[in-house]
Amino acid sequence: MEIIENVYIHIPFCDSKCPYCDFYSITTQDNSIKNKYVSKLLEEIEQYCDIISPNIRSVYIGGGTPNSLDALSLENLLTGLLNQIHLAEGYEFTVEVNPGSVTEEKLKLFKEFGINRLSVGSQTFLKKELKTLGRTHSPQDIFRTFNTARKLGFNNINLDLIFSIPGQTINSLIYTLNKLAELDPEHISAYMLTYYEGTEFYRRSVKKDLIKIVDDIEVEYYDFVKEFLGSKGFEHYELSNFSKKNKMSNHNLNTWNFGAYIGLGTSAHSFYLDSRWFNDNNVKNYIDLKFNKYPNRSTLSLTDKKNEYIMLGLRKTSGISLENYNNFFGNTIDFDFRKKIGKYLENNYLILDESRLYLNPEKINIYNSIVSDILLD
Ligand code: SF4
């Protein structure tokens, strides 16, 4: 039977809230809440020991801001976690860090516990754009964090980039891309700024208090980012992700390949066999309530599974392996989706060769509209 080899842990604490962010996090300096939260995380993982593999291939600690936990809580979390799981050979263990607040002491701690990948929330190298995004770090903080991590031996670092920031010009984007390339990370996640409902940026954009970059320019910026990173030796392997050779994010690839994973902590989602479940967005409830295994569980129908397989798989530039689809569902993608994908194959938006179905790289910027049109009813 399939078992879970990939673990996500959500740390829902930030020093301040960025106005564009829709991840669940709260701003508190109260270490007792954070300590209690860590204890509950360790209780939560324990109750899933029957479905978690004895050999874990990837762990991802994200947030929020994981380094907003004090050193003692981080040590408790990592000790408790590694007492309960065993990392498989060749594992990937990522922690997200905020360049404005992570200290050398905490980076050392991560290294000592076997964390071998860092994801740095850099976003842009221009002070003015960082301010627009409500980020509290400076461009120098990114250099400091990156160089300290390198000095400590981290040889797999992701830098996050946000583009289409209000006021951004092609020249300011080029400036940031050049700085990114100068640091020479192994991986870059490049996201177009999104105005998620419920965020401060969304409200301000509705009130026209924030001037969004227009759609055509956003596409130009996206194309420019792809071209620039390609010229610097990064492979574009997923809509928003670029990596040096053999440095793709295994944790995320597992999700796009429809693999099982468990999410621990507030707002974390899990997927296993036919089920998805998720924890609510509430630190207080998470700390106070007795655990209910598989909260908010839903069962996926066969059609749901096929649709999710397509949605996730087409995010990758390599697309979907026809053989894997066939092995998973017992019939061919062509049989299941021909009526839906026919017109996109004819106009060359989608490509079906002898082994894969994938998006024409030139049409990747309209992924959303193509995918929403080809899902089964
Ligand atoms: S630091 Fe990260 S998780 Fe926290 S509010 Fe900002 S973008 Fe969101």
pLDDT, tens digit (0-9, with 9 covering 90-100), for 357-367? 999 999 999 99
Which position has the higher pLDDT, 289 or 30?
Answer: 30
- The CA–CA distances, whole Å, from 17 to 25, 66, 96, 136 equal 8, 14, 16, 10
Cα(3) to centroid of ligand 1, in Å?
Answer: 31
Give the residue extent of every domain in the chain: 6-256, 301-377
Instruction: Decide whether any atom of ligand 1 lies within 6 Å of the 98 Cβ.
Output: yes
Q: Is the CB of residue 63 below 6 angstroms from any atom belonging to ligand 1?
A: yes
For residues 6-30, give the mean pLDDT.
Answer: 96
Q: Structurally, what CATH architecture does the domain formed by 6-256 represent?
A: Alpha-Beta Barrel (3.20)
Tens-place pLDDT, residues 202-222: 999 999 999 999 999 999 999
Q: Mean pLDDT, to the nearest integer, of 48-55?
A: 93
> What would the two tokens of residue 143 be?
């250099």
Domains 6-256 and 301-377 share a fold: no
Distance between Cα 21 and ligand 1 center (Å): 6
Q: Give the three-class secondary structure for 328.
A: helix
Q: Is the CB of 26 under 6 A from ligand 1?
A: no
Q: In testing the pocket of ligand 1, which one of 17, 123, 189, 201 has its CB within 8 Å of the most ligand atoms?
A: 17
Ligand 1: atom nearest CA of 134 is 6
Residues 139, 179 contacting (CB under 8 angstroms): yes
Q: What is the DSSP letter of 362?
A: G
User: Is the pLDDT reported for residue 1 higher than 70?
Assistant: no
Mean pLDDT over each residue of the chain, to the nearest integer: 96
What is the residue with the minimal CA distance to atom 6 of ligand 1? 18
Q: What dotted CATH number matches 301-377? A: 1.10.10.920
Predicted pLDDT at 54: 86
For 17, other C-beta atoms within 10 Å of its C-beta total 14
For residue 292, pLDDT over 90 is answered with no
Place of tokens 């419920």: 198
**218 C-alpha to ligand 1 centroid (Å):** 22
The average pLDDT across 188-194 equals 97
Residue nearest to ligand 1 atom 8, measured at CA = 21
CA–CA separation, 285 and 287 (whole Å):
5
Angle in degrees, 0-180, between the axes of helices 170-183 and 215-231, rounded to the nearest 10? 30
Residue 71, SS3?
helix
Q: Is the CB of 21 under 6 A from ligand 1?
A: yes
Q: How many whole angstroms from 130 Cα to the centroid of ligand 1?
A: 12
Which uninterrupted H or E stretch holds 334? helix 333-346
State the closest ligand 1 atom to the C-alpha of 14, by its place in the atom list counted from 1. 4
